């Protein structure tokens, strides 16, 4: 099972930023681009969590992403 800690660490890796990111802050402000969102969607799929690029990209915050991931994990 993926936990929220995993997501936060992964997001920091994707945006190459050491700073703390508020969980409701748009990650676009931290330079998150579509390629990185796609990479995350691909990694999640490999872990058995199917979340589309569009779902991630339309609301790019840690809170929203964790909401999607936790719902999909419990449904699986």
Q: Which residues make up the interface to other proteins (CB under 8 A)?
A: 15-19, 25-26, 28-31, 33-35, 38-39, 41-42, 52-54, 57-58
* Cα 48 to the center of its chain, rounded Å: 14
Q: At closest approach, how far in Å is the CB of 62 from other proteins?
A: 14
Cα–Cα–Cα angle for 74, 12, 64, nearest 5°? 40
Of 24 and 74, which has the nearer Cβ to other proteins? 24
Dihedral angle computed from the Cα positions of residues 36, 12, 19 and 70, in that order, rounded to the nearest 10 degrees: 110
Q: Pick the closer one to other proteins by CB: 31 or 48.
A: 31
DSSP structure class, residue 19: S
Q: Closest approach of Cβ 54 to other proteins, in Å?
A: 4
Q: Least distance (Å) from other proteins to the CB of residue 47?
A: 15
Structure-token match 């969607």, residue found:
41
């Amino acid at each position: 099972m993926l936990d929220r800690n995993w997501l936060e660490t992964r997001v920091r890796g994707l945006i190459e930023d050491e700073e703390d990111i508020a969980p409701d802050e748009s990650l676009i402000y931290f330079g998150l681009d579509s390629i990185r969102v796609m990479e995350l969607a691909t990694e999640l799929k490999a872990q058995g969590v199917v979340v589309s690029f569009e779902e991630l990209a339309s609301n790019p915050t840690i809170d929203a992403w964790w909401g999607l991931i936790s719902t999909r994990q419990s449904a699986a």
